[in-house]
Amino acid sequence: MSTHHFLTLLDFTPNELQEMIVHAVELKKLLKQGTPHTPLQNKTLAMIFEKSSTRTRVSFETGMIQLGGHALFLSPRDTQFGRGEPIEDSARVLSRMVDAVMIRTYEHAHVETFAAHSSVPVINGLTDLYHPCQLLADMQTWFEYRGEIKGATVAWIGDGNNMCHSYINAALQFEFKLNIACPIQYSPNADIVKTAETFVNVMPDPIAATEHADLVVTDVWASMGQEEEQNDRQKVFQAYQVNESLLAHANKDALFMHCLPAHRGEEVSEGVLNGPQSVVWDEAENRLHAQKALIEKLMT
């Protein structure tokens, strides 16, 4: 059997994703009860971070420890990745020593190349194209608050970025309607939209996208690696702030999510981020529980 990787949400079947979310909820309960659950004893996860991270690093590292294993933080600054050792060689070597590898990097093709040469599972901890781990946490959070997401309407407001692409994958896998509102030049990748076209609508108007939404989601206007575009983007995205007046167009019981870190006063207002519809802190916490379910599935 070939090694199972998690590079996008499409690497699992809808059933497997649903089972993982149910297991994440169980793991959360066990942790809160203080019941140890340590199926990953003597297992090691290597974590390669070529971009910054708070949630992803802490959730994977803590998750591995809670499951009885160990995690290694590897930065390009003090490994040979940063000095040009080929990805293929790094993959061959690391996968002879550790039991799984998580990678956060720029080019999505790099995690694909790594996975192609790795004999152990590879997890995408964010690339320029996708952020699938965040979607596990978002779907768990929705499940805890509202149950099944099938048939619901989700509004994505802002940049057609890595998070947006993973939402497109999620729309296909979980069968929800996804309205994406973005400035035309920041539309999501057309090929990715095409894979889920029966579930996805891309439009320029944030109000139209938010009407009848059950969940409203946004993310920063300039992602990691786009820092020098920040000023230009800020002008173009002005009309795409999720604030109280935009959220009022959604259904009354709509939830608000943001993968964080958030830029208050840019893509989201302080009032929405800390308002009664926001579930962002549960969403952040669920990174831990959802990824524990993921690594348990991949590593046992």
59 makes contact with ligand NVA (CB under 6 A): no
Cα distance between residue 251 and residue 230, in whole Å: 31
Provide DSSP, 33-96.
HT----TTTT-EEEEEESS--SHHHHHHHHHHHHTT-EEEEE-TTSSGGGGT--HHHHHHHHTT
Q: Closest CB to ligand NVA among 124 and 269? A: 124
If contact means CB under 5 to 8 A according to the sort of partner, which of ligand NVA, ligand CP, none does residue 162 touch?
ligand NVA
Q: How far is the CB of 57 from ligand CP (least distance, A)?
A: 6
User: What residues act catalytically?
Assistant: 104, 131, 134, 219, 259, 287
134 makes contact with ligand CP (CB under 6 A): yes
Stretch binding ligand NVA (CB under 6 A), from 24-32, 100-108, 215-223, 279-287:
215-223
If contact means CB under 5 to 8 A according to the sort of partner, which of ligand CP, ligand NVA, none does residue 28 touch?
none
162 makes contact with ligand NVA (CB under 6 A): yes
217 makes contact with ligand NVA (CB under 6 A): no
219 makes contact with ligand NVA (CB under 6 A): yes
Distances (CA, A) of 191 to 114, 134, 194, 195: 23, 21, 5, 7
What does the chain come to in residues?
300
Q: How far is the CB of 127 from ligand CP (least distance, A)?
A: 12
Structure tokens at 240: 């795409």
Helix (H) / strand (E) containing 260:
none
If contact means CB under 5 to 8 A according to the sort of partner, which of ligand CP, ligand NVA, none does residue 163 touch?
ligand NVA
Q: How far is the CB of 215 from ligand NVA (least distance, A)?
A: 18
Stretch binding ligand CP (CB under 6 A), from 33-41, 50-58, 247-255, 292-300:
50-58
The single residue among 8, 18, 44, 56 that binds ligand CP, judged by CB under 6 A, is 56
If contact means CB under 5 to 8 A according to the sort of partner, which of ligand CP, ligand NVA, none does residue 54 touch?
ligand CP
Cα distance between residue 264 and residue 43, in whole Å: 39
Which neighbouring-strand residues pair with 101? 46, 122
Phi/psi of residue 160, each to 5°? -80, 60
Q: Closest CB to ligand CP among 126 and 180? A: 126
Residue with token string 């997401």: 149
Cα distance between residue 300 and residue 296, in whole Å: 6
The single residue among 64, 100, 259, 280 that binds ligand CP, judged by CB under 6 A, is 259
Cα end-to-end span (Å), the chain: 14
Cα distance between residue 222 and residue 227, in whole Å: 6
Q: Which residues bind ligand CP (CB under 6 A)?
A: 53-56, 126, 134, 259-260
Interface residues toward ligand NVA, by CB under 6 A: 126, 131, 161-163, 219-220, 223-224, 259
